[in-house]
Chain A
Amino acid sequence: MSRKGVAKWLLIMKMIFILTVAFCFTVNAEGFSQKISLSLKNAPIEKVFKEITNQTGMSFFYTESQIRKAKRISVQLNNVSVEEALNACFEDQVLTFQIVNKLIIVKAKEPVTVNEKPIEEASLPPPAQIIKGTITDEEGKPLKDVSVMVKGTNIGTRTGENGSFQIEIPDGAAKVLVVSYVGMDSQEINVSSNTTVSVKMLPSTKLQDDLVVVGYGTKKRENLTGALSTVSAKEIESRPIGNTQQALQGLVPNLNLSVSNAGGEPGAGMAMNIRGLQSFGGSNAPFVLVDHVPMDINSIDPSTIESVTVLKDAASTAIYGARAAYGVILITTKSGKKSKSNANVTFSMNLGLAEPVQFPRMVGTMEFAHAMNDAARNQGSAPWYNQDALDRLAKNIANPGSAPVMYGRPDGQTWDIGTMGLGAADNTDWYSILMKDQAFRQKYNLGISGANDKVDYYFNVGWYDEEGLLRYGGESFNRYNFDAKVGAQATNWARISVLFKYNQAVQEFPWEQDLGRGRIYDMITKLKPTMPAKYPGTDIWTQESRIAEWQALRDNTTLKQMVIAPRIIITPLKDWVINLEFNYTQNNDQQELSATEWFWMRPNGQLAPGIPKPNTSYRPRINTSNYLSPNLYTSYTKSIKKHDFTVLAGYQQETFQYFNIKADATYLLSNNVPAINTAVGTKTVEDGKGHWGTQSFFGRLNYAFDNKYLFEANFRADGSSRFEPDDRWGYFPSVSAGWVFSEENFFPLKKAVDFLKFRASFGQLGNQNVPNYLYIPTMGIAQSNYLFGPDRLWAVTAPNLSSVNLTWETVSTLDFGVDFRMFRNRFSTSFDWYESHTGNLVGPGVALPAVLGTAVPLENSGEVKTTGFELELKWRDKIGNVQYEIGGNLANNKSVVTKYNNPDKVLTTYYEGMVLGELWGYETAGLFQTQAEVNNWVNQSFIYSGRWEPGDLKYIDQDKDGKIGIGRNTATDHGDKRIIGNQLPQYMYGFNAAVFWKGFDFSVFFQGVAKQTLYITEIFNGNVYRGPANGPFHAMVYEGQLDYWRDDKSALGPNPNAFFAKPYSVFTGNNDKNYGNPTDRFTPSGAYLRLKNLRIGYTIPPRITNKVRIANVKAYISGENILTFSQLKILDPEQTGGRNGDGRTYPLSKVWSFGLNVNF
C-alpha cells in the first residue's frame, strides 16, 4: 500500500470507529412486540397466517399436512403483540409456534396426539402397524423435534433427543410417513413392508421465504407470471470488483454486459442491454432502480446489495411505463434485520493485484525494423531504417548502448527519429517500462444493522480504491459510499423511513489536449521499439514516451451523488396500504482538466517546452443535475376463500434538470496552482442547461385462485415533455397469466416433479429514449471558425430539420415461460421464449437525396421484431459431506427490421428484412502470388482503382460480371457484396460450479459468447489488427503480425502462405485494397469463453471464532478473468472497439485478490 493509501485507510478506520460507537449506544434490539390487530370469524388458519404476514412482514413456516389439523379461528384482537395474537390463535389448536427472527415456525404441540398408549375410549381398536425409526441430519447426527406424520391423517409424533420415534399407522391409512423439519426437505417414506426406518434429512433446496422484488412490491416466486431473473448477494459477493455491472456479467441470461468505450480503465462502466438491441441507435439501456430510486447502476457499492431482480418482459416492466421499454433492473440494498445480538456488525475487505488480461507484445526489434521496411518498400517509399540504422540497431541489441540510438538534425533543434521513433536505433521494451508488474486494489466495507420493535436501521461505509496499470500514469479510481436506511413504526398505522445514499468517486487520469482521456493506450500502440525511452546520456524521458506529458496533463474528476428518499407507509385499514415516496437525487460532478508545462530535450541539450507556456491551461467543468420524483401508490389485498386479489394504483411525477458550466482558461502563471484566477490568457465559458419532465398514472390487478391460476394486468399512462403536446401521452397495458400445473390434483408426475408452472404474458411499453426538444427547431451557437480581423466572432448555425410529430416508441412483447423443479428441488430450470415488436421506432427518416443538405429528421419510421430465448438451469446436491451446485444460463436474440421507410433498400441505412448487426462485405479467395495471377483475375478497380500486386487480396466475383462492384448498393442489387456475419454477440452464456466441504468452498464462474463476427480492420478503428499495414504513425508489429505476405526481397524471407495481406506503409490508399472493406478473411470470430471468477474460501469454525466473540470469519482467495479461450489473434475478444478503436483502449485486468468477511 502506498503511503497515501495508508493514510486513507487510517482515515476510514477512524470514521468507522466513531460510527460504530455512536450506533452501539443508541440501538437496543430485543424482543419483538410489533402491534397487530385481528378480526376474524371462523377463518382458516392460513388466513390468519396471511393476515399476520401482511401486518408484520413475518413469515410462517408450516407444512400443508400440519395445518390440515388446525381448527378454524375466531378472534377479535386490537393492537396486541404478535406473540399475544399467536397465543390467542393457537390456544385450542393441536399446533404451537416458535418465533425465530422474522420467521414463525408452526409445529405440533407437545405432547401431541401420541400413540404411546392406546386410546382407551376406542371400542374396537383397529389393527395397527407400529413403526419405529431414527432420523438424522446429512452427517448422521440425530435430529430432535422432527415432525413425523402419517400421510393423510392427523396422527403424528416428534423425535426425541436421540432422534428416534415410534408411530402407529391405523388400519386403512396410507402406509406412508411424512417427515418434516425446519430448513430441511420434507420426505415421504413408504413403510408398507418395514417396521423400522432410518431417515436422513437433507437441507432444503428451496429458498426460505422466497419473496421476489417486483415493480412497486414483492411477490412470492411461485406466483410470478412474468419473465424475470434474480441474483442474490451470495452470487456477487467476494469478488475483487468495483462495480455492480462487472458483478452481474454472465449471471443473468439476456442481461448483456459488454466492455464499454472506456475499456478496463479504473472505474469504467460497461455497456448494458436486456434482450439485445431492439431499437435503432438508441442505447437500449435498461432502467435501473435502487430501492425505488432511479440511479446509475455503478454508483452503488456492490457490497450493499441484497438482491437484484432483472425484469425482462413487458408484463413485468409495464408498471414502469416509458422508462422501462428495454427492461428494468431492480436492486434492493440490505436493511436492518433483527438478530440475537444487539446489532449485526459486518466487516469485509479485499486486497487485489491486477495485471492486464491481454496486452499484445511487440515482436523483436530487428524483426520490427525489417517489417516496417517491407511495408515502406511495398509502398514504394524509402526504407524507414537505412543500413546505418539497422547496423546501429544490431549493435544495440547485442550490446545496449554500443551505438548511437538517435541522431539530432544538423540545426540542433529536432531529432531525426521519424514518427514515434521510426528510424531510431534503440531496443526498448516499452511494455516493461510503461506497465506496472501489478496494480493494487483494495476494498473495505463496514456495515452495522439491527432492528427492534419500533426501529430498524442499516448503515454501511464502503471504500474502493483501484490503481491503474500504468507505471507513470498516476491513474486511480476511488469510491466512497455511505448508505443509511432508517425506518420507524411511528404509529400502528404508519411507518416512516428514510433512505440516504451518498457516494463520491474520484478518478485521476492523464489526458490529452485534443483527444481527452484514454488516449494513452492509443499512443502506446504507436510507440516504436526502436524509440529510446530517454534522451541519450540523460534521465529525461523522450517526448514520444509521453511520460512527462502524462504527468503534466491531468484529468481529475470527482463525481458526487446524493440520494434522499423519505417514505411513509400508511395502513388506514386492514389490507389497505398507501405508500408515499419521495425520491430526490442530486448529482454534482466536477472535472478539472489541467495542462501545465513540461519539457523535452533538443539535440543541442536545450530543454524545449512540450506545451508552450501560453498554451498551458486549466479547464474546469461542473455538471449538476437534480432529479425529483414524488410517487404515490396504494394497494389493497383481499382474499376470499381461495381467491386472492391485489389491486394497486399510483401516480408518479418526474422532473429532471441539469446545469453544466464549462470554462477554459489558458496561460497559467504557475504550474503548481492551476486555476482560472491564475490564468492570464484567453478565458471562455459555456453552459448547458436543460430539463425534462414526466407524469404517469399506473395500476395493477393481481388475481390468484388456489395458488394454481395466476393472473396479472398492468396499465400505465405516461406523459413526457420530450414530445409535442399532441403526441405527448402514451398508454401502456399488459397482461400475464400463470398456471401451476404441479398444484393440480390430476398432475400426473407428482412424485418426480416438485413444481411446474407455465407462464404467458403480453404487454406494451413506451420509450422516451430520445433527446430533449427534438420537435423545436434550435439554432446552434458557436464561435466562428474564421477570424474576422484578429477575432473569432459569434456565429449561429442553421437548425436541423425538426422532428415533428415524434412520439413514443412502443415495444410489444409476447413471452412464454416455464418454471420447473424436480428431484426434490435439486434440479430447477426456467425457460422463456419471447417475441417483441418495437414499433414507431425513432430513427433517421427515409433516406433522401443529399441536396436536402442536412440530416434527415428523426421520425417514428421503423419496426423491429426481436425473438429470443433464455434458459437457466441449476442443480444442487450433496455427496456425503460435500455439497455442490452447478448452474448455467444461455440466451440469444435476433432482431429483424420489419418496417422501414427505405423503399429502395439502400444498404447504408436500415431496410426491411435487415438483421440488426449484419455485416456486408466481400468473400475472398486468398492472396495473389504473381502479377500474372493479378492480370488474369477479375477487375477489382472498384475496391481500389490503383495498382494491384502480388500479396493483395483476391475478391470473389459473385455475380460473374467480370468485375467487383456493389450494383446499386441495395438489398436486392448488391453486386458482389454478401452478408458475411453479424457483429452483435450471439448465444451468450454463463455457467458456474461451486463445492462446499467442511467450511471450505470453491467456486468457478465462466462466461462467454458463442458467436460473433468482428470487423476490426476498419481504418479509423482497426489499426491494431492491421499491424504494419498502417501509416507510419499508427503502425506496429505485434506478435502474430509477422505472418504477412512477403516475397523473397524481404529481409525476413518469403512468406507466400501468409494470413495477413501485403502491408503498405501508408494510412489509407494501398491498404484499402486489403482492409478498406469488410471481407470474410479479416473478420475473425469474436467467440470466447472466459473464466471470469475463481474463488477458494474457508470459514473458520464458529467454535473457534466464538471464543473471540466473532460469529463468523470467512477468508478467501479470488481470481478474476483468469483464463480465456478464443481464436482471435492479438486482441482481447471482450475488448474490440472502445474509445480509440480496437485494442487501443485500456485493457481489462486479471486480478488475484485476498479477502476477509467478518461478522461480529
Chain B
Amino acid sequence: MFVSCEKNLDRTPLDQISDPEFWKTDGDLELYVNNLYGQLPGWLTTGSGGNPLLDASTDVAIAAGLFLPTKDPMDGVINVPATGGGWNWANVRNANYFLDNADRVPAGGLKNQYVGEGYFFRAWSYFTLLRLFGDLPIIPKTVTPDDQDLLYSPRVSRTEVVNFMIKDLDSAIAKMKKKNELPSGRINRDIALAFKARLCLYEGTWEKYHLNDAFKGATNGTAFLELAAASAKSLIDGGSYSLVTGNPNQVYYELFNQTDYRQNPEILLFRGYNQEAYGSNFGNQVWNWPNGSGITSEMLRSYLCTDGLPSSVSPLYKGDLDIRLVVQNRDPRLVQTVMNPGDPITISLSNDTTKFVVPTLTAQQYCPTGYESQKFRRPQLDPRTGSYSANQAYIIMRYAEALLIYAEARAELGQLTQADVDLSINRLRSRVGMPRLVLGSITVDPAWPDYGYAVSDYLHEIRRERQVELFSEGFRFDDLMRWKGEKLIVGKRPKGAYYTAELKAVNAGLKADANGYLDPYATLLKGPASTWGFDPNKNYLRPIRTNELTLNTDLKQNPGW
C-alpha cells in the first residue's frame, strides 16, 4: 500500500504534448504553423452581432449605433492607455518559437514550405505592429526572461524594421511552393510576394510623404517603392493568378458574395467559414445588415461616369438627389457596391426574394448615411438553416490589389508608362466596361482631393481607382495614413445621402445639413464644429502604453503623445 520510493510524486502530463516530445517530423512543423494562421483577419463577429464595413472609420464609410467607436481613430479619440493598446507581441513570439525550433526537424518533406510559412507570419505579425506604432524593437528569436538585451531593447527606425520583414519575406518566397503544389488554404510563394508588394508600397509611400515630419523613416522610400513594383510585377507575370472576368454589370458584385474562393483565380488569400466545422452561426450573416454602417456621399461622388469623366464634369451625371439617379451612367462598380431598390436582401431556398426598398436608418444596426453596402452581403439563405445566410468568406488578398500596387508604385517612382497602366488600371476598368485611362489625356477633376502637396493627374486617378476597386476591403485607413492624408480629414465631416421625402416618410426627424444631406455626425465629432478630431501631430501612430515605457525606459513614446 505504501510506496517506499517517490514514485507517487513523479507525474508527467497525460493529455498534453511536452516540448521535448515534439519537433520530430515535418508533420509537427505543420501542426505548429497551422496555429499561426489564426492571426489572419476575419469577420469581427460570426454569430449574432454584426460586422461594420471594413472601411467604416474613414472618409468613405462610417458606422453608427453599436459600432460608433469605430470612428475614434479618425476622430483622434485615442488615449495613452496604462495597459493594452495593441502593443502585443504574442504573434511574434509564436513565429520566433517556430523558427528557433524548426531545425530540430530533419530536412525533407514539406519542411521548407512550413519554415517559409513561419517567416511569412513573423513578417505578418510585424506588419500589424508597424501600422500601429511605426518604429519597433527587432526581436529575432524567442525571448526568455534572461534575454535582458532583447527585452529592454529600444525601438529602431521603421526602415530597419521593414528591411527585417523584407528579409523574412524573401526567405519565405525562396522556401515556399506554388499554389498548385500545395493543399488548399496554405500560404504560398505568390501570397508572400503579394504581401511583400503591399508592405513595400505601404512603407515606400509612408517614407515619401512623411519625409519631413515626425513620423519619418530613414529613407525617402524610393527603394521600397522599387521593391513594391518589382514584387507586384513578379506576381502579375507569375501566371498563378489572374482577374476574374464576366458580365461587367455582375462580375464585380459576384466576386464578393461567395463562400469559397479556392477555385477563384483572383483570390490569393481568404478566410473561409464553415458552419458545420465550427458548429455555430458563421460568417457575416444577412440579418445583421446593414451592420450599423453606411457609405458616405463623398465616396459615391468619386465614382466616374461611364464616359470616363468625373461626376463633377461629366454631362452624364444625374446628381445624387435620389438613390435611383445617382447610380445612373456611373462606373458599374457603383451599382454593384451600393444597395439599390430592387436589390435582393434575402433569397430563400425556394428562390423567393425579399427586395431592398429603402435603407434602415434607425434601429440597432442602422445605416447612418442612407447608402447601404452590398459588398460581402450574401443574400442566399443557407440550405441547412433556411433562415440564415452563412459562411460568407472574408477576402484578405486578391490579384486586383497587386495591379493597383504596381501602378501606384510606378507612378510614385515617376516611372509610370502607358504599358504599366494597361497592365494594371485598365484591366480593372475594362473588366467592368469602363473606358481606358490614357496617360496624357486625363481630364482634370475639380473635385480631386487636395492632399496639401502636388499630386500628378495620373496618381490622382490611380488613387481613385484604388478607392473604388478596393472599397470596403479594409485598405482606406492605412491609405490615408501613408499618403499623409490629413487634409482629407481635418476640418471635414462625412455626410450621407440626400434626405429625400421617401426617406423622411419612413424615418422622420433625422439630422440633415443645410443642403439637405443626412448628417449623422452633426454633433458627434471632436473637432471644431463637429469635424474629425484627428490631430496630425500625433494621430498617425498609436501611443505606447504607459506601463511599457515605465518598464523599459529605453522605449520612446510616439510623437505627440
Q: Do the beta carbons of B31 and A946 come within 8 Å of each other? A: no
Report chain A residues within 8 Å CB of B184: 788-789
CB distance from B27 to the nearest CB of A (A): 10
Q: Among B32, B42, B76, B551, which residue has its beta carbon within 8 angstroms of that of A848?
A: B551
A853 within 8 A of B: yes
Q: Do the beta carbons of B35 and A1067 come within 8 Å of each other? A: no
B363 within 8 A of A: yes
CB contacts under 8 Å to B, within A898-933, are 904, 906-908
Report chain A residues within 8 Å CB of B387: 608-609, 612
CB distance from A702 to the nearest CB of B (A): 26
CB contacts under 8 Å to A, within B497-536, are 507-510, 521-524, 526, 533
A777–B22 alpha-carbon span in the complex (Å): 11
Interface centre among A613, A687, A785 (most CB of B within 10 A): A785
A973 to B, closest residue via Cβ: B550
Report chain A residues within 8 Å CB of B180: none
A796 within 8 A of B: yes
CB distance from A24 to the nearest CB of B (A): 37
Among A222-230, A689-697, A1138-1146, the one that faces the other chain is A689-697
A609–B150 alpha-carbon span in the complex (Å): 55
B356 to A, closest residue via Cβ: A411
B125 to A, closest residue via Cβ: A853
Q: Among B37, B77, B276, B550, which residue has its beta carbon within 8 angstroms of that of A1069?
A: B77
A1129 within 8 A of B: no
B454 within 8 A of A: no
Q: Do the beta carbons of B17 and A386 come within 8 Å of each other? A: no
Report chain A residues within 8 Å CB of B398: none
A382–B32 alpha-carbon span in the complex (Å): 49
CB distance from B520 to the nearest CB of A (A): 8
B15 within 8 A of A: yes
Interface of B is mostly: loop
CB distance from A971 to the nearest CB of B (A): 11
Interface centre among B78, B185, B363, B521 (most CB of A within 10 A): B363
Q: Do the beta carbons of A788 and B186 come within 8 Å of each other? A: yes
A851 within 8 A of B: yes
Q: Do the beta carbons of B35 and A782 come within 8 Å of each other? A: yes
Q: Do the beta carbons of B12 and A773 come within 8 Å of each other? A: yes
Report chain A residues within 8 Å CB of B364: 418-419, 422, 1032-1033
CB distance from A608 to the nearest CB of B (A): 5
Q: Do the beta carbons of A785 and B2 come within 8 Å of each other? A: no
Report chain A residues within 8 Å CB of B1: 582, 630
With A778-B19, A797-B94 in contact, is A791–B385 under 8 Å at CB? no
Among A394-402, A829-837, A962-970, the one that faces the other chain is A962-970
With A612-B387, A721-B9, A852-B93 in contact, is A785–B15 under 8 Å at CB? no
Q: Among A379, A614, A779, A782, which residue has its beta carbon within 8 angstroms of that of B384?
A: A614
With A904-B551, A966-B546 in contact, is A1066–B69 under 8 Å at CB? yes
A643–B386 alpha-carbon span in the complex (Å): 87
A879–B64 alpha-carbon span in the complex (Å): 74
B75 to A, closest residue via Cβ: A946
B452 within 8 A of A: no
A281 within 8 A of B: no
CB distance from B362 to the nearest CB of A (A): 5
A1127 within 8 A of B: no
Q: Do the beta carbons of B82 and A615 come within 8 Å of each other? A: no
Q: Do the beta carbons of B69 and A968 come within 8 Å of each other? A: no
Tally of B interface residues using CB under 8 Å:
114
CB distance from A1131 to the nearest CB of B (A): 26
A653 within 8 A of B: yes
Report chain B residues within 8 Å CB of A796: 17, 22, 28, 31-32, 34-35
Interface size class of A (residues with CB under 8 A): 35 or more
CB distance from A383 to the nearest CB of B (A): 8
A728 within 8 A of B: yes
CB distance from B465 to the nearest CB of A (A): 31
**Interface digits, B96-132 against A, CB 8 Å rule (1 contact, 0 not)?**
1110000000000000000000000000000000000
Q: Do the beta carbons of B546 and A779 come within 8 Å of each other? A: no
A797–B35 alpha-carbon span in the complex (Å): 6
A694–B10 alpha-carbon span in the complex (Å): 10
CB contacts under 8 Å to A, within B371-422, are 384-388
Report chain A residues within 8 Å CB of B2: 630, 632, 651, 653
A275–B149 alpha-carbon span in the complex (Å): 43
Q: Do the beta carbons of A381 and B65 come within 8 Å of each other? A: yes
Report chain A residues within 8 Å CB of B68: 379, 381, 1066, 1069
**Interface digits, A920-957 against B, CB 8 Å rule (1 contact, 0 not)?**
00000000000000000000011111110000000000
With A689-B14, A778-B17 in contact, is A786–B271 under 8 Å at CB? yes
With A779-B18, A945-B76 in contact, is A784–B93 under 8 Å at CB? no
Q: Do the beta carbons of A382 and B510 come within 8 Å of each other? A: yes
Report chain A residues within 8 Å CB of B42: 786
A928–B448 alpha-carbon span in the complex (Å): 43
Q: Do the beta carbons of A787 and B273 come within 8 Å of each other? A: yes
B430 within 8 A of A: no
A25 within 8 A of B: no
CB distance from B361 to the nearest CB of A (A): 7
Q: Do the beta carbons of A853 and B94 come within 8 Å of each other? A: yes
A507–B186 alpha-carbon span in the complex (Å): 46
B193 within 8 A of A: no
CB distance from A351 to the nearest CB of B (A): 42
With A778-B17, A791-B277, A792-B278 in contact, is A786–B8 under 8 Å at CB? no
Q: Do the beta carbons of B548 and A780 come within 8 Å of each other? A: no
A1057 within 8 A of B: no
Q: Among A418, A720, A779, A856, which residue has its beta carbon within 8 angstroms of that of B16?
A: A779
**Interface digits, A396-426 against B, CB 8 Å rule (1 contact, 0 not)?**
0000000000000011111010110011000
Q: Do the beta carbons of B151 and A787 come within 8 Å of each other? A: no
CB contacts under 8 Å to B, within A611-647, are 612-615, 617, 630, 632
A947 to B, closest residue via Cβ: B526
Q: Do the beta carbons of A906 and B384 come within 8 Å of each other? A: no
A619 to B, closest residue via Cβ: B279
Report chain B residues within 8 Å CB of A582: 1
Report chain A residues within 8 Å CB of B79: 941-945
A172 within 8 A of B: no
Q: Do the beta carbons of B145 and A845 come within 8 Å of each other? A: yes
A788 to B, closest residue via Cβ: B185
B313 within 8 A of A: no
Q: Do the beta carbons of A850 and B16 come within 8 Å of each other? A: no
Q: Do the beta carbons of A851 and B153 come within 8 Å of each other? A: yes
Report chain A residues within 8 Å CB of B77: 944-946, 1069
A1133 within 8 A of B: no
Q: Among B14, B37, B153, which residue has its beta carbon within 8 angstroms of that of A786?
A: B37
A690–B15 alpha-carbon span in the complex (Å): 7
**Interface digits, B543-554 against A, CB 8 Å rule (1 contact, 0 not)?**
000111111100
A1027 within 8 A of B: no
A999 within 8 A of B: no
CB distance from A762 to the nearest CB of B (A): 28
Q: Do the beta carbons of A853 and B145 come within 8 Å of each other? A: no
B345 within 8 A of A: yes
Report chain B residues within 8 Å CB of A784: 34-35, 37-38
Among B83-91, B299-307, B315-323, B329-337, the one that faces the other chain is B83-91
B357 to A, closest residue via Cβ: A410
Interface CB pairs A-B, < 8 A, 6: A725-B6, A773-B12, A787-B277, A788-B186, A792-B277, A852-B143
Known A-B contacts: A719-B6, A773-B11, A789-B272. Give 17 more (CB < 8 A). A380-B523, A411-B354, A414-B287, A514-B47, A632-B2, A688-B15, A690-B14, A721-B9, A786-B271, A787-B185, A794-B34, A796-B31, A798-B32, A851-B153, A945-B79, A969-B546, A1069-B72
The 3 A-B pairs of least Cβ separation, nearest first, read: A853-B93, A612-B385, A788-B185
Q: Report which A residues bind B (CB closer than 8 A).
A: 379-383, 386-387, 410-414, 416, 418-419, 422-423, 513-514, 582, 608-609, 612-615, 617, 630, 632, 651, 653, 655, 664, 666, 681-682, 687-695, 719-721, 725, 728, 772-773, 776-782, 784-799, 801, 845-854, 856-857, 904, 906-908, 941-947, 966, 968-970, 1031-1033, 1066-1069
